[in-house]
Amino acid sequence: MTHDNPQSQKTVLVVGCSDSPVVSVVSTVLSSWKLECVEDNEEALALVEKTAFDLVITDQASSAREDVELLRKVRLVRPHARVIVVADRSTPADVIAAIRARAFSYFTKPLSARALEEVLQLALESPACDEAIEMLSGTDAWIRLSVRCDISTANRLQQFVREFLDLPEVDEDKVATASREMLLNAMEHGGKFDPQRRIEIAYLRARHVVLIRIKDPGEGFSLEENLDTAANNPPDDPMRHMKHRAAQGIRPGGYGILLAKNLVDELFYGEKGNDVLLIKYINNDERRGSPSPA
């Protein structure tokens, strides 16, 4: 099995042609890593059985289902290898299967080079043994996850959200960003960024609406009385929350709730303040992917 060793050169295996856009991005971001390419999943598995790669990336003409099956087989022989699935086409069910099998990340083409660069950077920094994102339950329209309280996990989850919800391009970034901001807020205030603590998050994709519920393990707070957030700044003191955060020794920020409110249509906190619901209404005429779940 693979263990991170700062004294040895890390290795990445890309499944697909050596002149693909994925290989170009990998060569740039992971320039210090040893890069190998193979033609197909069968050849990839044979090589993984012989060599302990730190990262495996699927990038060829196989289906998402075949790539997830490769992921499962890699997990059996190299349980600590990070695997990024890059599929030509996929469904929410494929993304759910990849999360269950502990994929490091998931992309459907056309590929965003910038998004891939961000995930590869996370692969550089994240531990190899990874149970940061755990599937509690999942259907094509509704998933529940338990996630570790750290920033890298929130950043990784943002890409899975884009893929699972299958939204129109105009809404995709808004929902993914709002979800990340409120998740980070829960991690900071409810989880204290303690990686031993976990946040529960659920996504429901109905025909015309997305619902996101985030529940943290903290004692909660009153949103109206919270001085740490920009959402409660008085008009004559727009930086009040920054002064309060500095006095409390809290990291710079406090704009997450304000940003999320502007990205979704409705935002509600539960009575205790450790449970938040985001609602975004969807125009299905602009959808980019597969048929909408019922």
pLDDT recorded at residue 226:
55
The domain boundary, picked from 129, 155, 184, lies at 129
Task: Check whether residue 90 and residue 141 sit in a common domain.
Answer: no
Mean pLDDT of 199-219: 95
What would the mean pLDDT of 161-182 be, rounded to a whole number? 92
Q: Which of 90, 106, 129 is the last residue of a domain?
A: 129
Q: Is the pLDDT of residue 287 over 70?
A: no
CB atoms within 10 A of CB 243: 11
Please check whether residue 200 is in contact with residue 215, taking contact to mean a CB–CB distance below 8 angstroms: yes
| Average pLDDT of span 232-247 | 53
Q: Which of 207-211, 212-216, 278-282, 288-292 has the lowest mean pLDDT?
A: 288-292
Same domain, 163 and 265: yes
Please indicate, yes or no, whether residues 141 and 111 belong to a single structural domain of this protein: no
Domain shared by 105 and 153, yes or no: no
Whether the CB-CB separation of 289 and 140 falls below 8 Å is answered with no
Residues 156 and 45 in one domain: no
What local confidence, expressed as pLDDT, does residue 243 receive? 52
What is the value of pTM for the model shown? 0.83
Number of domains composing the chain: 2
- In this prediction, residue 277 carries a pLDDT of 97
Q: Are residues 273 and 260 in the same domain?
A: yes
User: Do 79 and 212 share a structural domain?
Assistant: no
Could you read off the pLDDT of 117-135 as tens digits, one per residue?
999 999 888 776 678 999 9
Segment among 108-122, 147-161, 226-240 with least mean pLDDT: 226-240
Cα–Cα distance for residue pair 235/255, rounded to 1 Å: 15
Residue at a domain's end among 101, 129, 157: 129
Q: Which residue has the higher pLDDT, 241 or 45?
A: 45
Q: 125 and 239: one domain?
A: no
Structural contact between residues 289 and 171, judged by C-beta atoms closer than 8 angstroms: no
| CATH number of the structural domain spanning residue 226 | 3.30.565.10
- Rounded distance between C-alpha atoms, residue 188 and residue 196, angstroms: 13
- pLDDT band of residue 41 (cuts 50, 70, 90) is very high
- Regarding whether 98 and 179 lie in a shared domain, the answer is no
Indicate the range of 39-53, 118-132, 276-290 predicted with least confidence: 276-290
Strand partners for 148: 198
Mean pLDDT confidence for 211-238: 68
Q: How far is CA 135 from the centre of its chain?
A: 13
Which domain does 191 fall in, by range?
A: 131-294
Confidence of residue 291 (pLDDT cuts 50, 70, 90): very low
